């Protein structure tokens, strides 16, 4: 496995990153502190050096604190990406705030929770509709110039004009949109823009929130606390169609002696312009499994079969939401 250059920065990252949302326990179930700490360790032991978190992963910054605790002694071996501009309000409602004051405050608090003096990659979590994107970019540029942040990224930006406006004030090193075998909208405009501007693309939901790992049976009964069941793609006829899609992929994974999760991740990190796949996990076995995908190169025949299966599945019911 080779580390990849993160955009125009000097940072080098593993193509599989550990996504640290599930360990925050807001939408995922049966999460324990012991498992979460062990999962972070297992990721680093499996060759993953890239950890993706956010100020808002956990109502009280749990995800960042866990990273600080589990990996503090390995700080120089890892690349920490976190995000600002989104937090939880008093009623646990999600609040976007991309104002310069809030960004500076978020940064100080994240540094404290992570137990570090620098954030390697700092994203604006999403544009704030009430704050011009140039103002948020200005605050991030200041943090970069101060040395508290090594590189700046954006997430959940849709219009190319937003990228252009941000980039004109503060160079974007990485972009974080969602992307997986069945959700490929970014190929139309955002991937080409990133390629033309030497911006890394680190994608979330490569497993479509776990579905593409193929471990949820057709008759799966959702736990009432599982946040995934609200998405149309996990309901009714769409659920059946996506299961049929997985059944077409299974033989490709089986003949290579790999799992569906490994297939989904190997495919993602082999797509042109994709720098890293952010793989969520809450137990060590999950991240050990997905890490193996870094060493699997799909053949042109595998890739053609996967494309045929994607075409047969057809488009998802709604875009851009899952
Ligand atoms: N920028 C943003 O707005 C944004 C939004 C979403 C996510 N993200 C980032 O992207 C990361 C990935 O997204 P995600 O965690 O929501 O979704 P994901 O990576 O598509 O799926 C993660 C879920 O898949 C299941 N899973 C993982 N490995 C598995 C394996 N080997 N076998 C079976 N199941 C497995 C686990 O769920 P179960 O065990 O519960 O089945 C896990 O919680 C996040 O952690 C976060 O860092 C960013």
Cis amide leading into 322 (omega within 30): no
CA-based nearest residue to 287, from 119, 110, 82, 50: 50
Ligand 1, atom 30, residue with closest C-alpha: 286
Is pLDDT larger for residue 319 or for residue 232? 232
| pLDDT for the residue numbered 77 | 96
| pLDDT for the residue numbered 322 | 55
Ligand 1, atom 11, residue with closest C-alpha: 19
Ligand 1, atom nearest to 176 Cα: 1
pLDDT of residue 90 exceeding 80, the answer is: yes
Q: Between the CA of residue 10 and those of 13, 53, 150, 195, what are the distances in Å?
A: 10, 20, 9, 17
What separation in Å is there between the alpha carbon of 168 and the centre of ligand 1? 32
**pLDDT tens digits for range 135-192:** 999 999 999 999 999 999 999 999 999 999 999 999 999 999 999 999 999 999 999 9
**pLDDT tens digits for range 249-298:** 999 999 999 999 999 999 999 999 999 999 999 999 999 999 999 999 99
What separation in Å is there between the alpha carbon of 206 and the centre of ligand 1? 8
Contact between 37 and 51 (Cβ < 8 Å)? no
First and final CA of the chain: distance in angstroms?
Answer: 30
| pLDDT for the residue numbered 28 | 83
What separation in Å is there between the alpha carbon of 145 and the centre of ligand 1? 32
Is pLDDT larger for residue 132 or for residue 210? 132
For ligand 1, residues with CB inside 6 Å are 19-22, 28, 52, 155-156, 176, 204-210, 213, 215, 261, 278-282, 286, 289-290
- The β-bridge partners of 51 are 18, 80
Mean pLDDT, residues 66-80: 97
What separation in Å is there between the alpha carbon of 50 and the centre of ligand 1? 15
In sequence order, which ranges of the chain are alpha helices (DSSP H)? 33-45, 62-71, 100-114, 133-146, 160-169, 190-196, 236-255, 260-270, 284-291, 300-313
Q: What is the DSSP string of 123-145?
A: EE-S--TTS-HHHHHHHHHHHHH
| pLDDT for the residue numbered 316 | 87
CA-based nearest residue to 44, from 64, 72, 63, 65: 72
Mean pLDDT, residues 32-54: 98
Q: From 1.10.357.10, 3.40.50.10490, 3.20.20.100, 3.40.50.1220, which CATH number describes the 4-213+260-297 domain?
A: 3.20.20.100
Kindly give the interhelix angle for 160-169 and 133-146, rounded to the nearest 10 degrees.
40
| pLDDT for the residue numbered 45 | 98
Q: Which of 39, 224, 281 to mutate to test the pocket of ligand 1 (most atoms within 8 A of CB)?
A: 281
| pLDDT for the residue numbered 29 | 84
Q: Between the CA of residue 239 and those of 159, 226, 248, 257, 267, what are the distances in Å?
A: 30, 16, 15, 26, 21
Contact between 268 and 180 (Cβ < 8 Å)? yes
pLDDT of residue 25 exceeding 90, the answer is: no
What separation in Å is there between the alpha carbon of 209 and the centre of ligand 1? 5
Active site residues: 57
Ligand 1, atom nearest to 125 Cα: 1
Q: How confident is the model at residue 320 (pLDDT cuts 50, 70, 90)?
A: very low
| pLDDT for the residue numbered 317 | 79
Q: Give me the sign of the Cα torsion angle 85, 225, 61, 289.
A: negative
Q: Which of 13, 16, 18, 19 to mutate to test the pocket of ligand 1 (most atoms within 8 A of CB)?
A: 19
Ligand 1, atom nearest to 21 Cα: 45
Ligand 1, atom nearest to 206 Cα: 20
187 Ramachandran zone, left/alpha/beta (phi>0; psi -120 to 50)? alpha
Ligand 1, atom 22, residue with closest C-alpha: 280
Residue 212 makes CB contacts below 8 A (sequence gap 6+) with: 180, 181, 182, 206, 246, 260, 261, 264
Report domain extents, the chain. 4-213+260-297
| pLDDT for the residue numbered 232 | 87
Q: Between the CA of residue 306 and those of 72, 135, 236, 243, 270, what are the distances in Å?
A: 40, 43, 24, 14, 12
- Cα gap 106→109, rounded to integer Å: 5
Ligand 1, atom nearest to 126 Cα: 3
On average, the pLDDT of the chain sits at 95
pLDDT of residue 321 exceeding 80, the answer is: no
């Amino acid at each position: 496995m080779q580390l990849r250059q993160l955009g125009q920065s000097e940072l080098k990252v593993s193509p599989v990153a550990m996504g640290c949302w599930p360990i925050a326990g807001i939408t995922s179930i049966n999460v324990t502190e012991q498992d979460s700490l062990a999962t972070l360790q297992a990721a680093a032991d499996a060759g993953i050096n890239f950890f993706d978190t956010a100020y808002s992963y956990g109502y009280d910054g749990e995800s960042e604190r866990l990273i600080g605790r589990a990996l503090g002694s390995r700080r120089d071996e890892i690349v920490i990406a976190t995000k600002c501009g989104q937090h939880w309000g008093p009623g646990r409602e999600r609040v976007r705030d991309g104002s310069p004051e809030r960004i500076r405050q978020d940064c100080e608090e994240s540094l404290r929770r992570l137990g570090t003096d620098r954030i390697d990659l700092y994203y604006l979590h999403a544009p704030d509709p009430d704050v011009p994107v140039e103002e948020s970019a200005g605050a991030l540029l200041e943090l970069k110039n101060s040395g508290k942040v090594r590189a700046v990224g954006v997430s959940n930006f849709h219009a190319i004009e937003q990228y252009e406006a941000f980039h004109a004030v503060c160079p974007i090193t990485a972009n974080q949109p969602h992307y997986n075998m069945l959700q490929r909208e970014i190929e139309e405009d955002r991937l080409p823009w990133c390629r033309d501007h030497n911006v890394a693309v680190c994608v979330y939901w490569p497993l479509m929130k776990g579905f593409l790992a193929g471990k949820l049976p057709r008759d799966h009964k959702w736990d009432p606390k599982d946040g995934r069941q609200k998405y149309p793609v996990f309901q009714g006829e769409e659920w059946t169609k996506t299961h049929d899609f997985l059944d077409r992929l299974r033989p490709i994974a089986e003949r290579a002696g790999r799992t569906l999760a490994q297939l989904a991740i190997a495919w993602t990190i082999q797509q042109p312009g994709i720098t890293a796949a952010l793989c969520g996990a809450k137990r060590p076995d999950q991240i050990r499994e997905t890490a193996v995908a870094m060493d699997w190169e799909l053949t042109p025949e595998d890739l053609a079969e996967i494309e045929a299966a994607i075409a047969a599945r057809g488009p998802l019911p709604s875009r851009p939401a899952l």
